[in-house]
Chain A
Amino acid sequence: MSVISPVPTQGPLVAAPTASRGRAARARAVVRQVGLALLTLFLISFIAFVAMNHSPVQIARNVLGRGATPAQLRAYATSHGLDRPVMVQYLSWLGHFVRGDWGATLVNQQVRPLVLPAYVHTGELALITLAWSVLLAIALGVAAARRRGAVDQSLFVGMTVLAALPEFVIGLGLMVTFAVQLRWFPVSSNAVAEGSAGEKLLAFVLPSLTLGLGVVAYVWRITRASMLEALAAPYTRSAILRGLRRRRVIWRHAVRSASVPLVNAIAINIIYLMGGVIVVENVFAFPGLGRLLVQAIAQGDANLALAIIMLLGAVFIVLGLVADVVVTYLDPRLKGGSR
């Protein structure tokens, strides 16, 4: 993220990094990132709230149905405080939300017990996917950078096409092949919510694969580019000339220095991963937040949609934050001072 601006390698700060100064600089960088993350979450909630609550009549109609008379709509809006200024309503909603009162859905169910299991499923899906896809992408990226030529070229074509396809197209391709034709995996991932352990595992495969392929295509590209740069660097040549083994040079020297832009790229793309989650869950009927969100929006259920938007935002902002903090610790240039 742009929060961590690259620091010139030869500056007075970098020249003599003391341990305590380095720690203070990192702490400051981390505090900044946490602050930015909170600000982002606040902005998301504000935009979403204002968008969904700008019209009291619309909300009243969503609750009372199309048959309601204007007088009934007005009465509902007044009795539920919908005629107050949006800012006041937002603060009141935020106060309740922070204290754990997430309100009720249109059919008067409590939002919290409805949303929390979906939250767990989405979190599992995101973490599993992130883990395997990043590892695979790095392995393939290193392979492509080492052997330029046929391996690199065919990976390049494949990844370019993969990166250009919308998630739902990839998902449908996988579904038609592996669920409809081969019948290896279920078409619907409903088992994630209410199946046995085995069924649950099988239901995760296709959604995670769909989501992960997009990540692989992107992270592969960054890995390849930063590995090419690292392999061409003088320190790599000197390591080879010192007689170190190839494998050691690549994994200890080159990958290490290539890891900073890589983790940066992952941090930036975690918010795009979230978009993917929403799509993939709807393709495979995966019982997570993304599917619930689209249903809530289609029904005009503001409380439910808002709670989900907050949770989805929180999951992915925390994931991005973790990646940002990892960068802070990986990048030796940040030892001496940030900004």
Chain B
Amino acid sequence: MSVAATDPSMDAVPRRSRRGGVLHPVTHTWTGRVGLVIVALMMIVIVLGPVLAPHDPNELAAGLPLAPPGRGFVLGNDNLGRDVWSRFLSGGRMVLLVPLAAVGLATISGGFLGMTCGYIGGALDAVVARVFDILLTLPPLLIALAVIAGFGSSTAVLVLTIALIFAPQIGRVARGTTLAVVSSDYVQAARARGERRVTIVVREIAPNIVAPVVSDLALRVTYGVIFVATLNFLGLGAQPPSPDWGLSIAQNLAYVQVQPYASLAPVVGVAALSVGLNLMADSMVRYVSHDGMKDSML
């Protein structure tokens, strides 16, 4: 079981429908609930924030540079006099949308390829599995940096790069779970009953690989958020004057002793989003990998 221990979704024995499906642990374990609340709050901030912001996030010298909280500026002003609170409210869009788009793209490409290969098997499957394995040995951040160095850091490049990195990971999980389901008794039974191929895929296989695949997708979104925030922090993603959280942290770091809120507010934003998403993903992964009962007492 040496591989299984590092990748819970791979050895998950697919079972027929369990109460509530893969979203069940999100509302029925403490990790899931806490994660859900945090993520819901952050979603409100990210979606409604730009509308609620009292100032234009890019308005220079709205107040005094590096002014402390007060006089209509809840969190004070950054080094260019911009309103820290408005920038916090407007700065979360990219770290959420880019990972979501990337994971969606990677699921459509990698997930579909993995599922098809797992079902068909044979030489094609062997080749694709080997290609996935080799792509998985590539260090993600290094590849992303190389691509950004060559093609620039537009949003499209970021989405494509992250999708490219995630596709083999999602593909491997989809393939692994499909393989396990294909050889299961109920698929054999459906074959023996003489069901059509399409019926088997739609009615027997798809419902039973949803749980491991969705829990894996949740994890990917979490990694994606961290990844994008990191790229923006390194100055290789969002460019000034964007109010993006990662970028704001890097820009206001030098003034942390004078105006701590300018860097702390976006730090809280990134941290809350990634921790909340991770807690949700975590509850799903453990539910799928069977030790849900042991650990859900948290």
Asked if A168 meets B233 with Cβ closer than 8 Å, knowing A160-B282, A297-B149, A305-B146, the reply is yes
Asked if A265 meets B137 with Cβ closer than 8 Å, knowing A156-B295, A278-B145, the reply is no
Q: Which residues of B contact A229 (CB under 8 A)?
A: 1, 5
The one of B139, B253, B278 that contacts A274, using a Cβ cutoff of 8 Å? B139
The one of B31, B230, B256 that contacts A167, using a Cβ cutoff of 8 Å? B230
**Which chain B residues numbered 267 to 298 have a C-beta less than 8 Å away from chain A?**
267, 270-271, 274-275, 277-279, 282, 291, 294-295, 297-298
With both beta carbons as reference points, the residue of chain B lying nearest to A301 in the complex is identified as B149
The one of B5, B139, B146 that contacts A261, using a Cβ cutoff of 8 Å? B5
Q: Does B142 reach chain A (CB closer than 8 Å)?
A: yes
Q: Which residues of A contact B274 (CB under 8 A)?
A: 164-166
Shortest Cβ gap from A141 to chain B (Å):
12
**Contact indicator A297/B145 (Cβ below 8 Å):** yes
**Contact indicator B137/A157 (Cβ below 8 Å):** no
Shortest Cβ gap from B218 to chain A (Å):
12
Report how far A164 CA is from B229 CA in the complex, Å: 13
The one of A55, A160, A169, A261 that contacts B31, using a Cβ cutoff of 8 Å? A160
Asked if A51 meets B257 with Cβ closer than 8 Å, knowing A160-B31, A264-B2, the reply is no
With both beta carbons as reference points, the residue of chain B lying nearest to A4 in the complex is identified as B2
Q: Does A322 reach chain B (CB closer than 8 Å)?
A: no
Report how far A163 CA is from B281 CA in the complex, Å: 12
**Contact indicator B5/A164 (Cβ below 8 Å):** no
**Contact indicator A172/B267 (Cβ below 8 Å):** yes
Shortest Cβ gap from B216 to chain A (Å):
15
Report how far A40 CA is from B263 CA in the complex, Å: 38
**Which chain B residues numbered 135 to 188 have a C-beta less than 8 Å away from chain A?**
136-143, 145-151
Q: Does A15 reach chain B (CB closer than 8 Å)?
A: no
Chain A positions 155 through 185: 1 when the CB is less than 8 Å from some CB of chain B, otherwise 0: 0110011011111110011001000100000
Report how far A275 CA is from B279 CA in the complex, Å: 22
Shortest Cβ gap from A251 to chain B (Å):
19
Report how far A189 CA is from B112 CA in the complex, Å: 46
* Chain B residues touching A, range: 35 or more
Shortest Cβ gap from A42 to chain B (Å):
10
Report how far A89 CA is from B188 CA in the complex, Å: 53
Q: Which residues of A contact B263 (CB under 8 A)?
A: 172
Q: Does A2 reach chain B (CB closer than 8 Å)?
A: yes
**Contact indicator B253/A172 (Cβ below 8 Å):** yes
Shortest Cβ gap from A309 to chain B (Å):
6
**Contact indicator B275/A161 (Cβ below 8 Å):** yes
Q: Which residues of B contact A331 (CB under 8 A)?
A: 2
**Contact indicator B271/A6 (Cβ below 8 Å):** no
Q: Which residues of B contact A167 (CB under 8 A)?
A: 230
Q: Which residues of A contact B90 (CB under 8 A)?
A: none
With both beta carbons as reference points, the residue of chain A lying nearest to B260 in the complex is identified as A176
Report how far A43 CA is from B260 CA in the complex, Å: 43
Instruction: Name which of B146, B226, B256, B275 has the most chain A CB atoms within 10 A of its CB.
Output: B146
Q: Which residues of A contact B69 (CB under 8 A)?
A: none
**Contact indicator B134/A274 (Cβ below 8 Å):** no
With both beta carbons as reference points, the residue of chain B lying nearest to A226 in the complex is identified as B5
Q: Which residues of A contact B143 (CB under 8 A)?
A: 44, 47-48
**Contact indicator B142/A305 (Cβ below 8 Å):** no
Report how far A81 CA is from B260 CA in the complex, Å: 51
Q: Which residues of B contact A163 (CB under 8 A)?
A: 278
**Contact indicator B3/A264 (Cβ below 8 Å):** yes
With both beta carbons as reference points, the residue of chain B lying nearest to A296 in the complex is identified as B149
Report how far A315 CA is from B143 CA in the complex, Å: 15
Q: Does B133 reach chain A (CB closer than 8 Å)?
A: yes
Report how far A40 CA is from B137 CA in the complex, Å: 6
Report how far A229 CA is from B290 CA in the complex, Å: 13
Report how far A64 CA is from B147 CA in the complex, Å: 22
**Contact indicator B142/A53 (Cβ below 8 Å):** no
**Contact indicator B278/A160 (Cβ below 8 Å):** yes
Chain A positions 290 through 320: 1 when the CB is less than 8 Å from some CB of chain B, otherwise 0: 0001101110101001000100110011000
**Which chain B residues numbered 41 to 85 have a C-beta less than 8 Å away from chain A?**
none
Q: Does A215 reach chain B (CB closer than 8 Å)?
A: no
Q: Does A52 reach chain B (CB closer than 8 Å)?
A: yes
Q: Does A153 reach chain B (CB closer than 8 Å)?
A: yes
**Contact indicator A44/B139 (Cβ below 8 Å):** yes
The one of A54, A164, A279 that contacts B278, using a Cβ cutoff of 8 Å? A164
Q: Does A111 reach chain B (CB closer than 8 Å)?
A: no
The 8 closest A-B CB pairs, nearest first, are A51-B150, A164-B278, A275-B141, A261-B5, A48-B146, A297-B149, A271-B139, A164-B275
A-B contact pairs, 7 of them (CB 8 A): A2-B136, A52-B150, A156-B295, A164-B274, A168-B233, A229-B1, A309-B146
A interface list, Cβ under 8 A from B: 1-6, 36-37, 39-40, 43-44, 47-48, 50-55, 153, 156-157, 160-161, 163-169, 172-173, 176, 180, 222, 225-226, 228-229, 260-261, 264-265, 268, 271-272, 274-275, 278-279, 282, 293-294, 296-298, 300, 302, 305, 309, 312-313, 316-317, 327, 331
